């Protein structure tokens, strides 16, 4: 709860900071310090929850929030990723437009949404969390106001987003009709044999609504345009940390509440997973722009995260945590490199290895992690979610399909490596790569490898 309050206060401070000062780099430094502070508070909370073993998870807001150790741990990890994001891309955020303070304020509010989604125990909180998380994103997507693509992205995102929120709300209402409660604990009483049709359609609507938010196919249509059109620093945020937050909400609801109804929804999710993997990977192959490729790749990665949803077991929880962090770290790193380049097409990467060997090396590690090569975080992430699915049984076909799709993904990730190392050309940079950039990217890179070597560090369960 401390983190939620702190993030809100940080958001407010950042809003006022921009009134008081016009110094962009000052605001960035302030935000960095505040996010450090936020991370510290999260660690404090984790520390408290470790000491309080045996005590029931504290409930807040009339039992609408239940901050169990998983919620606190996950919030801490996401704050860590957000801090890394600010450290890597803070200066780039300041370049997007005039209202630098507001951007950081919106990011802080999104963090509030993520914390709510990690620990909700009531559908009302789920809904509020999703809204707190979505509305700042609509603004961030359109923050580059002079750019038509950014405005288009914002509008598209807003329309599609509100549409999906409507569907989500509908699902919640139907479940309320079936059970007379918003509390997710009470959904557990739904019985497989005498399932209320209202509840069943409610579950279906929830799958569609949440599927929209995590860009699962066929509800993914908005993703490429929005991710491509938004200013790059915000794409990095939206496609990683935010998405991971929604996934945890998805997981919590479907495992805690509908875990015994798997025979009703598992096949639906399995088909959605297969479609997502297929569309994400195959379409990514044909992209010319690396930014757009990363948008499709984020759909493809969502396909892997969906494995955690459909395997109702403890490994799935571990899997989603590792996946969320490994994928976020590597993708944020990748975007931090991308933003330094003038040309976002594959050709823009030509000859980068000669010009900036360190940068090219880091990019290679990030891409290998995304492709799932062993000893990088991405491998362990894929490993855990697939292990969860194998333990669940019944979906071995999907596991094999996913592995074939992982092989396809090597094609488009390695195209960047091929461009950097094996093609000749002059990769043009926006500005010099400073020692600070290299240091931060190096740390990110080490994190990717560390997760690959010791994924257990991310697990407290």
Partner 1 sequence: MMLTLLLLIPLIAGILSFFLKGEGVKILALLSTLATLVLSGFVSYEILVAGLSGTNNTLDFSMPWIPQLGTEFSLHADGMSAMLCLLTGIVMPVIIIANWNKEVERPWSFYGLMLLSQAGITGVFLAYDALLFYAFWELALIPVYFLCSQWGGEKRIAVTFKFFVYTFVGSLMMLAALIYLSTLNPGANSYSWANITHAGASLAPETQSWVFWMIFIAFAIKLPIFPFHTWQPDTYEQSPTPVTIILSALMVKMGMFAVLRWLFPMVPQGVAFWSNTVIILSIIGIVYASFLAIVQTDLKRLIAYSSIAHMGLMCAAAFSNTQMGMHGLMVQMFNHGINITGMWLIVSMVENRYGTRDMTKLGGMATAAPQMAIALAIISFANIALPLTNGFIGEFMLFNGIFQSASAYNIVFMAVAGLGIILGAVYTLNMVQKTAFGNTTPMLISKDMTTNESLAMALIVVLVIFLGVYPKPLLELTQSVAQMMVP
- Contact positions vs partner 1 (CB under 8 A): 318, 368, 373-375, 383, 386-387, 390-391, 396, 399-400, 403-404, 406-407, 410-411, 414, 418, 421-423, 454-456, 459
The position carrying tokens 């094996």 is 422
Provide, rounded to whole angstroms, the least separation between the CB of residue 58 and partner 1.
Answer: 27
Provide, rounded to whole angstroms, the least separation between the CB of residue 59 and partner 1.
Answer: 29
The four Cα atoms 337, 343, 346, 348 give a dihedral, to 10 degrees, of -90
Provide, rounded to whole angstroms, the least separation between the CB of residue 372 and partner 1.
Answer: 9
Distance CA 220, CA 299 (A): 7
Provide, rounded to whole angstroms, the least separation between the CB of residue 440 and partner 1.
Answer: 20
Nearer to partner 1, 20 or 400 (CB): 400
Class of residue 155 by CB neighbours under 10 A (exposed 0-12, middle 13-18, buried 19+): middle
Residues sharing a CB contact under 8 Å with residue 443, sequence separation 6 or more, in sequence order? none
Provide, rounded to whole angstroms, the least separation between the CB of residue 361 and partner 1.
Answer: 9
Provide, rounded to whole angstroms, the least separation between the CB of residue 368 and partner 1.
Answer: 8
Distances (CA, A) of 1 to 56, 71, 72, 184: 15, 10, 9, 19
H or E stretch covering 59: strand 59-60
> Could you give the angle at which helices 357-371 and 377-392 cross, rounded to 10 degrees?
0
Nearer to partner 1, 88 or 389 (CB): 389
Give the long-range contacts of residues 392-397, CB within 8 A, separation 24 or more. Answer: 392/310, 392/311, 392/312, 392/313, 392/316, 394/266, 395/266, 395/270, 395/310, 395/311
Buried b (16+ CB within 10 A) or exposed e, 111-145: bbbbbbbbbbbbbebbbbbbbbbbbbbbbbbbbbe
> 147: phi > 0 → left, psi -120 to 50 → alpha, else beta; which?
beta
Nearer to partner 1, 223 or 392 (CB): 392
Nearer to partner 1, 282 or 390 (CB): 390
Nearer to partner 1, 286 or 411 (CB): 411
Nearer to partner 1, 120 or 421 (CB): 421
Nearer to partner 1, 226 or 321 (CB): 321
Distance CA 328, CA 78 (A): 9
Nearer to partner 1, 293 or 387 (CB): 387
Residues sharing a CB contact under 8 Å with residue 343, sequence separation 6 or more, in sequence order? 427, 428
Nearer to partner 1, 173 or 399 (CB): 399
Distance CA 188, CA 146 (A): 50
Provide, rounded to whole angstroms, the least separation between the CB of residue 408 and partner 1.
Answer: 9
The residue among 227, 233, 443, 457 whose CA lies nearest residue 332 is 233
Distance CA 395, CA 9 (A): 45
The residue among 278, 291, 233, 320 whose CA lies nearest residue 404 is 278
Are 182 and 214 in contact by the 8 Å Cβ rule? The answer is no
Q: Is 142 helix (H, G, I), strand (E, B) or coil?
A: coil
Nearer to partner 1, 148 or 457 (CB): 457
Distance CA 396, CA 449 (A): 29
Provide, rounded to whole angstroms, the least separation between the CB of residue 438 and partner 1.
Answer: 14
Q: Is the peptide bond before 218 cis (omega within 30 degrees of 0)?
A: yes
Provide, rounded to whole angstroms, the least separation between the CB of residue 456 and partner 1.
Answer: 5
Provide, rounded to whole angstroms, the least separation between the CB of residue 280 and partner 1.
Answer: 17
Provide, rounded to whole angstroms, the least separation between the CB of residue 31 and partner 1.
Answer: 35
The four Cα atoms 168, 169, 173, 174 give a dihedral, to 10 degrees, of -30
Nearer to partner 1, 12 or 418 (CB): 418
């Amino acid at each position: 709860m401390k983190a939620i309050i702190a993030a809100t206060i940080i958001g407010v401070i950042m809003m006022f900071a921009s009134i008081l000062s016009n110094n962009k780099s000052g605001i960035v430094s302030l935000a960095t310090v505040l996010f450090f502070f936020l991370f510290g508070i999260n660690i404090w909370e984790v520390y408290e929850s470790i000491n309080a073993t045996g005590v029931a998870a504290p409930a807040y807001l009339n039992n609408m929030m239940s901050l169990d150790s998983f919620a606190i741990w996950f919030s801490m990890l996401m704050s860590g990723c957000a801090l890394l994001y600010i450290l890597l891309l803070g200066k780039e955020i300041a370049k997007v437009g005039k209202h630098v303070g507001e951007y950081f304020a919106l990011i802080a509010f999104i963090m509030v949404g993520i914390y709510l989604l990690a620990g909700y125990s009531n559908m009302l909180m789920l809904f509020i969390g999703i809204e707190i998380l979505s509305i700042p994103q609509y603004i961030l997507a359109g923050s580059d106001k002079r750019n038509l693509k950014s405005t288009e992205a914002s509008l598209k995102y807003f329309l599609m987003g509100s549409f999906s929120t409507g569907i989500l709300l509908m699902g919640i209402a139907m479940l309320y009709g079936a059970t007379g409660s918003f509390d997710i604990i009470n959904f557990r009483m739904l019985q497989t044999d005498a399932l209320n049709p209202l509840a069943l359609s409610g579950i279906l609507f929830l799958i569609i609504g949440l599927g929209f938010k995590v860009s699962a196919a066929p509800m993914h249509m908005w993703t490429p345009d929005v991710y491509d059109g938004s200013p790059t620093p915000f794409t990095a945020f939206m496609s990683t940390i935010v998405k991971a937050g929604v996934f945890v909400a998805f997981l919590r609801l479907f495992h805690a509440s509908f875990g015994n109804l798997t025979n009703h929804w598992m096949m639906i999710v399995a088909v959605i997973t297969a479609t997502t993997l297929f569309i994400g990977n195959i379409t990514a192959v044909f992209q010319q722009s690396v930014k757009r490729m990363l948008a499709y790749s984020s759909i493809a990665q969502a396909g892997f995260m969906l494995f955690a949803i459909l395997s109702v077991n403890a490994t799935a929880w571990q899997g989603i945590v590792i996946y969320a962090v490994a994928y976020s770290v590597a993708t944020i790193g990748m975007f931090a490199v991308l933003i330094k380049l003038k040309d976002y097409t594959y050709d823009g990467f030509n000859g980068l290895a000669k010009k900036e060997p360190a940068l090219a090396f880091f990019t290679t590690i990030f891409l290998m992690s995304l492709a799932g090569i062993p000893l990088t975080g991405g491998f362990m992430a894929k490993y855990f979610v697939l292990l969860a699915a194998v333990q669940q049984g019944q979906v071995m076909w999907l596991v094999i399909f996913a592995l074939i799709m992982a092989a396809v993904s090597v094609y488009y990730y390695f195209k960047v490596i091929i461009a950097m190392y094996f093609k000749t050309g002059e990769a043009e940079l926006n500005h010099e790569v400073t020692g600070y950039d290299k240091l931060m990217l190096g740390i990110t890179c080490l994190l990717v490898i560390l997760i690959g070597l010791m994924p257990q560090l991310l697990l407290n369960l």
